[in-house]
């Protein structure tokens, strides 16, 4: 019988200590004298555990996770591909991991070189003039891109008039959320019957109050916009800017460049296309690449070349300002550069080619078992619908949970919103044919089970560390932190005091 | 090269199964003129051996490769226990996605729950989230939350707040509705803050310990802000909070800060770890992900992401924030760090910082030409007024293998003779002595 899983606070006790610290080797003076007047805390109710207890705890936790090194991860729009191991080692070199952001430019030439090399390389890959590495993730890149668009319109005297951003109904949720964050208004544009941009709807929505259109290419159904050149032309004709959500860049890398498609700027999710480890939710990085006319508005500072030396340039009067504490997620950016250099030009075009091949292979095989709402060839991902299973009392969620029993992760589900019971599948280029076949076989078996014994799906998963978890209960009870053993009473008292102060101010 | 494992015959088989004669047919929707016209002009492909050579050269071009650091200003050189790296670099944590399928993500979700618990305890707040990008954007999110909670517009930033935090706040607030209250003698003066408050004030933001390393008087600031009907945002260093009275316990409504110091490398300023904690009544306005305890169908305890209706993937333009990807792996590292150090270790690190920082300050103040411009109590760093330009002292230090402090002249020309010096538990008495030698030599030249 195994031990019940316990939280760190439920283990150890007085006398359990982690790694020792050195004795103080300078003359020790009373804290009350050094921190005179300061109020110190009376208690810190942290765990008291030994190093072996901490190691066991986190190893026990780790094996409960699915992860890309273990198995297939077909999350649409997330690009969960192999994470090359050398990239982590390079980012951990002492001269890189210990580099301090305020050491001064002379003491940081290596770090500046990495940022400079990556910026130039990303500009070349995307077909733009310049790059900022500051945004820490794609969503921040979106917000920063919109700030630059706002600054550009203001510089042209159109800041007051242009307040709307057109966003297709198939867009990621971050798009409208970022639009709102910068004070713009989202106008949702319905997709056409082929799930791509409807040019009539676009023309009708474009007027002189539109600041920008935000598009994902290929879109979230994995479809390339066949009229993309016309779409960006129409946007420009109306005086708007064209923003590309780069979440799906894996389909384009080495094949087509967003700058050549008529876009003015884009963000790049390096934790997707350029394979930096996702870390269970982050960190990623969201550099933004811009065409020449937007370059003056890039966040400060910007790396500039002076002979063979690199410097941070802070003197950029038209900049939107700073958006990160320092220069962005440098350790992640270094990994992305290593990834790109490993591939070179020839390797990168193999990335998009194989990603597209893998997705089409799975799509054609699985359309026999699931509804395929749009039959055109896809790019790097595709969307199935589980609506045909409804008559058996089975939902897309049940398919997702059953997949977990086969050692593969579920696809993205219930997104995009324009497909009911959506299953959004992105295999990436690093999956081999036998892995694709294993996934397809699992999906086919699940479709069969849905018809013949739906209860298997409704009860799934059964082989995972936990069975299905009660999300409604979690939201109702809202237990967001552990209880310190022996301190429940005081927490309850604090909660009750809290309730009395709600509403103030 | 690439990480593709696919033979020509496999590709042919796949194309046949798809029902096309060639790969090109799959690209029918991509206009010819939209295709790449000439090969990308980028370096590579490089083998691992070549990559090591190139990045090794970059690493050696940074002083950090060998120098002893007295740099702070938001990023600190604390010791990272070996067990932390061994655990956090495991694939199971590093290569997992966001835990959207909780049945196969209990490792990540449990760790997030533990992170939230530790941060809530440290800050004295009821709840904490799963992380934000960094300390600066955490301050932005807090200010935006305070504005939406109070329906008031103005954000008052009081005292010596990190200039970069103020710059990021200025960018996001778009220049409007931000009032700065200058420090006096390095700290916030109560009368200055009081004069800046009004019925339109949504919140007061202060940093504790502040940018100069000085402690503020949280209780006084909390009372002034609350009397004006404003919320309080405390921007705090988490190592300092192991020692100081937690601001949440004396009325701060939101506590945010930079968690790099909790077991994460400086890494040239990123990735960082924004943390965000607040009172329970604000939980539905919080930005970012939250893990909550629940049970599975067998009644066994487990954890899930909760209140996702606050988030962009559900609520779109009505979300409380646009954040999606956060700093999960750094939050995990912070969780392991706080676990390994534990109740006693966290306090000991903080105390060592105080002792060593004060020892260094005392040494420096005794060197002719150097002085400490501020009287207030300080925690892990202090401002040192130098007899020469700080930039020159920094250059001289690097020649001796010492990064003697942050040249504050980079922030304001009138601070050009000021060094901001940080001393962590890693610095030995002899390293501090070598640092003082740098000051003596450079001061003599000045």
CATH 3.90.1150.10 in chain B, residues? 66-80+343-445
- The CA distance from B132 to the nearest CA of chain A, in Å, is 10
Determine, for residues A505 and B150 on separate chains, whether the beta-carbon distance falls below 8 Å: yes
Average pLDDT along chain B: 96
Q: Where is the domain boundary, A342, A373, A390?
A: A342
B contacts of A42 (beta carbons < 8 Å): 245
Per-residue confidence (pLDDT) for residue A1, from 0 to 100? 40
Preferred mutation among B271, B288, B374, B376 to probe A, highest tally of A CBs within 10 A: B271
A contacts of B83 (beta carbons < 8 Å): 18-19, 51, 54-55
> What is the pLDDT confidence band of residue A428, given thresholds at 50, 70 and 90?
very high
Q: In this structure, what token pair is assigned to residue B343? A: 């109740």
pLDDT higher than 90, residue B314 = no
- Check if B148 contacts A (Cβ < 8 Å): no
- CA A10 – CA A497 distance, rounded (Å): 26
What value does the mean pLDDT take over residues A303-316? 97
pLDDT tens-digit series, residues A108-145: 999 999 999 999 999 999 999 999 999 999 999 999 99
Determine, for residues A96 and B58 on separate chains, whether the beta-carbon distance falls below 8 Å: yes
Closest CB to B45: pick one of A329, A344, A464: A344
Cα radius of gyration rounded to whole Å, chain A: 26
Q: In this structure, what token pair is assigned to residue A129? A: 């003039």
pLDDT higher than 50, residue A413 = yes
Residue of B nearest to A169 (CA): B316
Determine phi and psi for A77, rounding to 5 degrees: 65, 10
pLDDT higher than 90, residue A472 = yes
Per-residue confidence (pLDDT) for residue A432, from 0 to 100? 98
Determine phi and psi for A117, rounding to 5 degrees: -60, -45
What value does the mean pLDDT take over residues A165-187? 95
pLDDT higher than 70, residue A504 = no
- CA B168 – CA B90 distance, rounded (Å): 33
The C-alpha torsion from A353 through A145 and A77 to B42, rounded to 10°, is: 30
How many residues in chain B? 446
Q: Where is the domain boundary, A308, A342, A376?
A: A342
- The CA distance from A444 to the nearest CA of chain B, in Å, is 16
> What is the pLDDT confidence band of residue A244, given thresholds at 50, 70 and 90?
very high
pTM of the model: 0.97
- Check if B226 contacts A (Cβ < 8 Å): yes
Degrees (nearest 5) of the Cα angle A4, A473, A465? 35
A contacts of B82 (beta carbons < 8 Å): 19
Residue window 321-350, chain B: list those with CB within 8 Å of chain A: 321-330, 332, 336, 338-349
Closest CB to A325: pick one of B34, B265, B269: B269
- Within-domain flag for A230: yes
CATH class of B66-80+343-445: alpha beta
- The CA distance from A126 to the nearest CA of chain B, in Å, is 10
Cis (ω within 30 of 0) for the bond into A478? Answer: no
Following DSSP, what letter does each residue of A380-421 receive, concatenated? S-EEEE-GGGGGGT--HHHHHHHHHTTTSPPPEES-STTSTT
- CA A466 – CA A453 distance, rounded (Å): 22
Burial zone of A192 (CB within 10 Å; 0-12 exposed, 13-18 middle, 19+ buried): middle
pLDDT tens-digit series, residues B203-231: 999 999 999 999 999 999 999 999 999 99
Residue of B nearest to A491 (CA): B126
Question: What 3-state class would DSSP assign to A476?
Answer: helix
Determine, for residues B316 and A176 on separate chains, whether the beta-carbon distance falls below 8 Å: yes
> Residue A164: which residues within 8 A CB-CB, separation 6 or more?
A184, A185, A186, A187, A209, A210, A211
Per-residue confidence (pLDDT) for residue A194, from 0 to 100? 87
Query: CATH number, domain at A158?
Result: 3.40.640.10
Determine phi and psi for A43, rounding to 5 degrees: -150, 150
- Within-domain flag for A136: yes
- Within-domain flag for A484: yes
pLDDT tens-digit series, residues B142-156: 999 999 999 999 999
> What is the pLDDT confidence band of residue A223, given thresholds at 50, 70 and 90?
very high
pLDDT higher than 90, residue B97 = yes
Determine, for residues B3 and A338 on separate chains, whether the beta-carbon distance falls below 8 Å: no
pLDDT tens-digit series, residues A6-52: 999 999 999 999 999 999 999 999 999 999 999 999 999 999 999 99
Residue of A nearest to B245 (CA): A41
What value does the mean pLDDT take over residues A458-476? 97
Instruction: Find, among A386, A261, A285, the residue nearest to A333 by Cα.
Output: A285
- Check if B145 contacts A (Cβ < 8 Å): no
pLDDT tens-digit series, residues B101-140: 999 999 999 999 999 999 999 999 999 999 999 999 999 9
- Check if B78 contacts A (Cβ < 8 Å): no
- Within-domain flag for A146: yes
Per-residue confidence (pLDDT) for residue A496, from 0 to 100? 46
pLDDT higher than 90, residue B444 = no
Closest CB to B290: pick one of A54, A110, A480: A480
Q: Are residues A479 and A336 in the same domain?
A: no
Closest CB to B292: pick one of A93, A468, A478: A478
Determine, for residues B126 and A346 on separate chains, whether the beta-carbon distance falls below 8 Å: no
Residue of B nearest to A66 (CA): B104
- CA B372 – CA B377 distance, rounded (Å): 12
What value does the mean pLDDT take over residues B397-413? 97
Determine, for residues B45 and A346 on separate chains, whether the beta-carbon distance falls below 8 Å: yes
Q: Where is the domain boundary, A295, A317, A342?
A: A342
> Residue A472: which residues within 8 A CB-CB, separation 6 or more?
none
**Number of domains, chain A:** 2
Enclosing domain of residue A318: 127-342
What value does the mean pLDDT take over residues A256-268? 98
- Within-domain flag for A311: yes
How many residues in chain A? 505
What value does the mean pLDDT take over residues B239-247? 98
- Within-domain flag for A94: no
Preferred mutation among B96, B313, B395, B421 to probe A, highest tally of A CBs within 10 A: B96
What value does the mean pLDDT take over residues A148-176? 96
Closest CB to B96: pick one of A45, A66, A100: A66
> Residue A288: which residues within 8 A CB-CB, separation 6 or more?
A131, A132, A135, A141, A144, A145, A148, A265, A266, A267, A268, A298
Closest CB to B324: pick one of A138, A147, A343: A138
Closest CB to A343: pick one of B2, B11, B136: B2
Per-residue confidence (pLDDT) for residue B65, from 0 to 100? 84
pLDDT higher than 80, residue A486 = no
CATH class of B83-337: alpha beta
Per-residue confidence (pLDDT) for residue A500, from 0 to 100? 39
- Within-domain flag for A305: yes
A51-62 helix and B106-123 helix, angle to the nearest 10 degrees: 130
> What is the pLDDT confidence band of residue A276, given thresholds at 50, 70 and 90?
very high
Closest CB to B317: pick one of A81, A186, A278: A186
Q: Answer yes or no: is the ipTM higher than 0.95.
A: yes
CATH 3.40.640.10 in chain B, residues? 83-337
pLDDT higher than 90, residue A501 = no
Preferred mutation among B1, B4, B65, B221 to probe A, highest tally of A CBs within 10 A: B4
Residue window 369-388, chain B: list those with CB within 8 Å of chain A: 377, 379
pLDDT tens-digit series, residues B37-60: 999 999 999 999 999 999 999 999
Q: In this structure, what token pair is assigned to residue B172? A: 């996001």
């Amino acid at each position: 019988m195994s031990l019940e899983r316990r939280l760190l606070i439920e283990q150890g006790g007085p006398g359990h200590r982690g790694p020792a610290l050195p004795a103080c080797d300078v003359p020790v003076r009373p804290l009350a004298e050094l921190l005179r007047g300061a109020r110190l805390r009376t208690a810190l109710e942290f765990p008291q555990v030994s190093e072996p207890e901490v190691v066991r705890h986190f190893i026990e936790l780790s094996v409960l996770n699915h992860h890309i090194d273990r198995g297939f991860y077909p999350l649409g729009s997330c690009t969960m591909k192999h994470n090359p191991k050398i990239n982590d080692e390079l980012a951990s070199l002492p001269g890189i991991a210990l580099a301090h952001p305020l050491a001064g430019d002379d003491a940081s030439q290596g770090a500046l070189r990495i940022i400079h090399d990556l910026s130039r390389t990303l500009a070349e890959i995307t077909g733009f003039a310049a790059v900022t590495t500051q945004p820490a993730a794609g969503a921040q890149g979106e917000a920063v891109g919109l700030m630059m668009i706002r600054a550009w319109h203001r510089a042209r005297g159109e800041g007051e008039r242009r307040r709307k951003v057109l966003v297709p109904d198939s867009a990621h949720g971050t798009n409208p959320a970022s639009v709102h964050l910068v004070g713009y208004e989202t106008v949702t544009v319905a997709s056409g019957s082929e799930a791509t941009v409807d040019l009539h709807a676009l023309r009708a929505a474009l007027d002189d109050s539109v600041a920008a259109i935000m598009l994902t290419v290929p879109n979230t159904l994995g479809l390339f916009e066949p009229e993309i050149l016309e779409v960006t032309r129409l946007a420009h004709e109306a005086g708007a800017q064209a923003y590309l959500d780069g979440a799906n860049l894996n389909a384009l890398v080495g094949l087509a460049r967003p700058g050549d498609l008529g876009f003015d700027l884009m963000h790049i999710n390096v934790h997707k296309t350029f394979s930096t480890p996702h870390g269970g939710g982050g960190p990623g990085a969201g550099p933004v690449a811009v065409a020449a006319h937007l370059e003056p508005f890039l966040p400060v500072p910007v790396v500039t070349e002076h002979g063979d030396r690199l410097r941070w340039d802070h003197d950029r009067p038209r900049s939107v300002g700073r958006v990160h504490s320092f220069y962005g997620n440098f350790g992640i950016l270094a990994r992305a550069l290593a990834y790109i250099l490993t591939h070179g030009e020839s390797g990168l075009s193999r990335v998009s080619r194989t990603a597209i091949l893998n997705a089409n292979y799975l799509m054609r095989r699985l359309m026999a078992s699931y509804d395929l709402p749009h039959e055109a060839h896809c790019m790097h991902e595709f969307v199935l619908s589980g609506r045909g299973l409804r008559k058996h009392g089975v939902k897309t969620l049940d398919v997702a949970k059953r997949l977990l029993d086969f050692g593969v992760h579920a696809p993205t589900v219930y997104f995009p919103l324009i497909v009911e019971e959506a299953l959004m599948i992105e295999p990436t280029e690093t999956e081999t044919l036998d892995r694709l076949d294993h996934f397809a076989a699992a999906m086919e078996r699940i479709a069969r089970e849905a018809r013949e014994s739906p209860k298997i799906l409704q009860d799934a998963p059964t082989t995972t560390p936990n069975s299905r978890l009660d999300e409604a209960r979690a939201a109702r009870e809202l237990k967001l932190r552990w209880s310190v053993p022996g301190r429940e009473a005081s927490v309850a008292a604090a909660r009750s005091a809290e309730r009395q102060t709600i509403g103030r101010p | 090269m690439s990480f593709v494992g696919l033979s020509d015959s496999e590709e042919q088989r796949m194309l046949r199964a798809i029902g096309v004669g060639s790969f090109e047919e799959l690209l029918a929707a991509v206009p010819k003129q939209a295709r790449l016209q000439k090969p990308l002009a980028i370096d590579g492909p490089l083998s691992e051996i070549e990559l090591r050579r190139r990045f090794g050269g970059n690493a050696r071009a940074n002083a950090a490769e060998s120098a002893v650091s007295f740099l702070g200003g938001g990023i600190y050189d604390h010791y990272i226990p070996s067990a932390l790296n061994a655990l956090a670099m495991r694939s199971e944590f590093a290569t997992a996605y966001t835990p959207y399928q909780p049945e196969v993500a209990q490792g990540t979700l449990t760790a997030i729950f533990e992170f939230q618990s530790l941060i809530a305890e440290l800050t004295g707040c009821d709840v904490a989230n799963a992380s934000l990008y960094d300390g600066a954007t955490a301050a932005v999110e807090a200010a935006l939350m305070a504005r939406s909670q109070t329906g008031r517009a103005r954000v008052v930033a009081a005292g010596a707040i990190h200039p970069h935090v103020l710059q990021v706040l200025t960018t996001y607030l778009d220049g409007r509705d931000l009032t700065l209250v200058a420090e006096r003698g390095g700290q916030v003066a109560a009368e200055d803050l009081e004069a800046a408050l009004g019925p339109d004030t949504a919140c007061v933001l202060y940093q504790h310990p502040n940018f100069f390393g000085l402690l503020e008087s949280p209780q006084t600031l909390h009372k002034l802000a609350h009397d004006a009907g404003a919320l309080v945002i405390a921007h705090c260093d988490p190592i300092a909070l192991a020692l100081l009275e937690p601001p949440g316990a004396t009325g701060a409504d939101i506590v945010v800060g930079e968690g790099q110091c909790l077991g994460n490398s400086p890494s040239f300023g990123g990735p960082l770890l924004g943390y965000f904690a607040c009172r329970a009544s604000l939980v539905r306005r919080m930005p970012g992900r939250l893990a909550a305890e629940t049970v599975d169908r067998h009644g066994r305890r487990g954890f899930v992401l909760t209140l996702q209706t606050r988030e962009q993937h559900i609520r779109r333009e009505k979300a409380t924030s646009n954040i999606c990807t956060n700093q999960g792996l750094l939050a995990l590292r912070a969780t392991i760090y706080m676990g390994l150090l534990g109740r006693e270790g966290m306090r000991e690190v903080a105390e060592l910082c105080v002792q060593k920082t004060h020892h260094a300050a005392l040494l420096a103040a005794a060197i002719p030409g150097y002085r400490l411009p501020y009287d207030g109590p300080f925690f892990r760093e202090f401002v040192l007024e130098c007899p020469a330009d700080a930039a020159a002292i920094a250059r001289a230090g690097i020649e001796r293998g010492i990064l003697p402090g942050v040249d504050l002249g980079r922030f304001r020309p009138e601070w050009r003779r000021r060094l901001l010096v940080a001393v962590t538990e890693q610095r030995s008495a002899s390293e501090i002595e070598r640092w003082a030698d740098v000051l003596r030599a450079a001061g003599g030249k000045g």
